[in-house]
């Protein structure tokens, strides 16, 4: 049955799932239009993560082998590196998953070790705070079910990386302690 379902998904991916932009160029109707990795089951620990902010992708690895790709949402100001508290940007650089929590305002979460010493020093030289509390998390608690599509297709966080509740539960289960996370522009 699973093989049949995957075959159907592959065939459906060939359909035109694009909308026309005003200038005539094709744009994706939503970020997840051709995203089928939701159905890939992780069976090995995640020992490294790479985030491509410009592609809105988070890719998980085990011993340098790709396990799965997730489509993500970023901070309200997705371009550029986070420098200061309140800038709504998502950090860039090498960090680590340094904590995990099921008690959160955003379902379950994995904490990212932002700010680094370099981040804090840069902000301090500008007489500002680097901020902190950057996480990979799910939807806000007490959200309405009909809001989920918008959460999945827009950048809406205060600087965190967001996935669906189902996806953060999967990541929470498989990401190892002190897992490196490289966040690229």
Average pLDDT per block of 10 residues along the chain, 185 residues long: 30 30 44 68 95 96 96 95 96 97 91 97 96 95 87 93 95 97 98
Rounded to two decimals, what is the model's pTM? 0.80
The tens digit of pLDDT for each residue in 147-162 reads: 888 888 999 999 999 9
Of 2.40.440.10, 3.30.70.360, 1.50.10.20, 3.40.630.10, the CATH number of 45-184 is 2.40.440.10
Beta strands in the chain (DSSP E): 18-20, 26-28, 48-52, 57-62, 65-71, 93-101, 109-112, 135-137, 161-162, 180-184
The tens digit of pLDDT for each residue in 56-79 reads: 999 999 999 999 999 999 999 999
**To 10 degrees, the CA torsion angle through 156, 162, 164, 169?**
-150
């Amino acid at each position: 049955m699973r093989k049949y379902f995957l075959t159907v998904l592959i065939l459906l991916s060939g359909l035109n799932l694009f909308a026309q932009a005003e200038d005539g160029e094709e744009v994706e109707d939503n970020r997840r239009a051709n995203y089928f990795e939701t159905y890939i089951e992780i069976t090995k620990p995640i020992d490294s993560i790479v985030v491509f902010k410009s592609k809105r992708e988070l890719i998980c690895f085990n011993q340098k082998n790709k396990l799965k790709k997730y489509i993500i949402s970023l901070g309200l100001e997705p371009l550029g590196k986070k420098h200061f508290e309140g800038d709504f940007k998502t950090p860039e650089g090498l960090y680590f998953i340094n904590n995990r929590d099921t008690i959160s305002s955003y379902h379950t979460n994995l904490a990212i070790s932002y700010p680094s010493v370099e981040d804090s020093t840069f902000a301090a030289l500008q007489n500002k705070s680097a901020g902190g509390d950057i996480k990979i998390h799910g939807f806000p608690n007490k959200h309405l079910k009909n809001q989920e599509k918008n959460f999945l297709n827009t950048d809406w966080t205060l600087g965190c990386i967001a996935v669906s509740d189902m996806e953060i539960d999967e990541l929470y289960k498989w990401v190892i302690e002190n897992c490196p996370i490289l966040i690229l522009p």
